[in-house]
Amino acid sequence: MPVRHGKFAVLFVALMLSCVLPAVAADRGSLIVRVSPKDAYIYADGEPVYWSKGHYITLTAGQHKIDLYNYGYRPESRTVDITARKTTKIDVTMQAIPGAVSGPWGCITIEGPHGAAVLLNGKDPHDFFVGSVKEFDNERFWKKELIVPPGKQELTVAYADREPWTTTVDVQPNRRVDAFKGVRKTVAWTRGEQLKEVSRFNAGILNDHVAVEKVSGEFAASTSQVNCGDSAHLTWSSTGATSTEIDSKPVSATGNETVEPTQPTTYKFTARGPGGVYTSDATVNVNNAISASLQVTPSDVNIDNGGGGNSSRTATLTWSAPNATSVTVDPIGSVSDTGSREVPVNPGSSPGPINQNVTYTLHATNACGGDVTRTAVLHVMGNNGPAEASAAPPEQSQEAKAAPPELPHTASPLPWLALVGIFFLATAASLRLILKKLRA
């Protein structure tokens, strides 16, 4: 009875598949990629598909982005339109990167599905793809090797239908690492001592290899110190890199750039590729000091208009702050960074002697945080208003000049007569009093 049930289950599954598969196939089409060299690897819509040699792939109907990678050749991309139940073909010739690469070397062999893609020191296939597992899976009877610079390498194996795995392998000079989701073993690799310069990619009948170029570079600033507002030049170059950047901004593999820092700045150059990472720093310090001056000419002004002075009522104010971005002169206001202006000398309306100082103030700043103040003092002296009285009589009016001079008056006799009268009256009163007493 169980056997009979098992037969029914098999028949049921077969019946379901016969109904489902045509429906699935009806929505798919085929793509044949004819590429030179034939060992290129196909990514469809950003996902690893398969080694292109001798294979075609099926895709859902519609538009797809196809990327082709082969280490030692420049990546190629195409957009294709897939029609259900039809075959689409594309022909691509990849451009080789010229030149050979040199050691020292170590070696990696990888176990796993032949169709899996291999990436080194990164996850983006455009920059870090090195081949397929099929190209690096044997070191016994024929040589299928991933030849790399010595050092720690991050190895990623990406599958079409499974999660990728990543491991770090430490490759020593003239040693071979066998890896599968980790390091299986490390053994001597004497062939590495014999290799000098080798091609990046070689696909033979029995022997295949990919030789990964070590990432190296140079980076420098034209000067380590600039004044605020001045510029410095950054220059860089790299070899073996597939992506280069300065402070996380993508740049070409070789180039130069003018920078105008407003504060001490450290620029970081990074070059990445399957052969590792190269980094270098360059620091440019900034002098934010402002060279400023302020002068007033003449510095002493005599405004005397009664004592024979020069009676100058103006002075010239001259200033300079060439590396400033904002300049003010009090009491003028905002001015250019260099200039001059005539200023009036006004001691006020109060008459009398003048001995005072007038202060002018320059304040300058720049974009780098520089801040400076300069002053200039004008000494004002002299007499303001009418001159002091002198021995010469004041000038008379015309009316006063026409009138005749007055004669001096004599002293009046009336006061003396009054005194005499008082004397006689007093005497008479005294005699009368004496006579009155005698009669009594």
* DSSP for 149-214, written as a single string: -SEEEEEEEE-SSS--EEEEEEEPTTEEEEESSSEEEEEE-THHHH-SEE-SEEE-SS-EEEEPPP
More confident residue, 25 or 402: 25
Residue closest to 260 by CA, chosen among 238, 235, 227:
227
Residue 95 token pair: 């451009």
pLDDT computed for residue 279 by the predictor: 97
pLDDT in tens, 421-435: 676 677 777 777 776
User: Which of 11-20, 220-229, 350-359, 407-416 has the lowest average pLDDT?
Assistant: 11-20
What are the backbone dihedrals phi and psi of residue 242, each rounded to the nearest 5 degrees, phi first?
-110, -15
Under the banding of pLDDT at 50, 70 and 90, the label for residue 416 is low
Most confident of 1-10, 290-299, 394-403: 290-299
Residue 310 token pair: 């020069």
pLDDT at 158 over 50: yes
Give helix then strand counts, H and E, for the chain: 5, 35
Residue closest to 139 by CA, chosen among 194, 196, 188:
188
pLDDT at 329 over 60: yes
pLDDT computed for residue 50 by the predictor: 79
pLDDT computed for residue 119 by the predictor: 96
Share of the chain above pLDDT 70, in %: 80
pLDDT computed for residue 170 by the predictor: 94
pLDDT computed for residue 275 by the predictor: 96
The SS3 of residue 349 is coil
pLDDT in tens, 168-182: 999 999 999 998 887
* Mean pLDDT of the region 309-330: 85
pLDDT computed for residue 182 by the predictor: 76
| Percent of residues in the chain assigned helix, strand, coil, to nearest 5 | 15, 50, 35
Sort 88 into a burial class: Cβ within 10 Å, 0-12 / 13-18 / 19+: middle
User: Which of 68-82, 107-121, 132-146 has the lowest average pLDDT?
Assistant: 132-146
Residue closest to 273 by CA, chosen among 433, 20, 17, 101:
101
3 φψ region: left (φ > 0), alpha (ψ -120 to 50), beta (else):
alpha
Q: CA-to-CA distance for 348 and 382, rounded, in angstroms?
A: 12
144 φψ region: left (φ > 0), alpha (ψ -120 to 50), beta (else):
beta
pLDDT computed for residue 53 by the predictor: 63
Contact 232, 261 (CB under 8 A): yes
More confident residue, 286 or 11: 286
More confident residue, 111 or 123: 123
pLDDT in tens, 288-313: 999 999 999 999 988 875 433 445 67
pLDDT computed for residue 393 by the predictor: 47
CATH number 2.60.40.10 is the correct assignment for the domain at 217-287: yes
Q: CA-to-CA distance for 314 and 294, rounded, in angstroms?
A: 17
Task: Tell me which residue has tokens 């005294």.
Answer: 430
Q: CA-to-CA distance for 242 and 257, rounded, in angstroms?
A: 20
pLDDT at 403 over 80: no
- Report the CATH architecture of 293-384: Sandwich (2.60)
Q: How far are the Cα atoms of 123, 168, 185, 351 from residue 175, in angstroms, in the given order? A: 25, 15, 10, 102
How many whole angstroms from its chain centre is CA 40? 41
pLDDT at 85 over 80: yes
Output b/e per residue, 117-136; b: 16+ Cβ within 10 A: bbbbbbeebebbbbbbbbbb
pLDDT computed for residue 421 by the predictor: 65
Model pTM score = 0.70
Q: What is the 3-state secondary structure (H, E, C) of 58-93?
A: EEECEEEEEEEECCCECCEEEEEEECCCCEEEEEEE
Domain ranges of the chain: 28-93, 101-211, 217-287, 293-384
Give every CB contact of residue 56 below 8 A, 6+ residues apart in sequence: 30, 31, 32, 33, 87
Q: CA-to-CA distance for 112 and 392, rounded, in angstroms?
A: 125
pLDDT computed for residue 250 by the predictor: 96
Beta bridge partners of 258: 233
pLDDT in tens, 43-75: 999 999 876 666 678 899 999 999 999 999 999
28-93 and 293-384 have identical folds? yes
Contact 285, 261 (CB under 8 A): no
pLDDT computed for residue 195 by the predictor: 87
pLDDT in tens, 194-238: 888 899 998 877 778 999 999 999 999 999 999 998 999 999 999
CATH class of the region 28-93: mainly beta
Count of alpha carbons within 13 angstroms of residue 11, beta-carbon side: 6
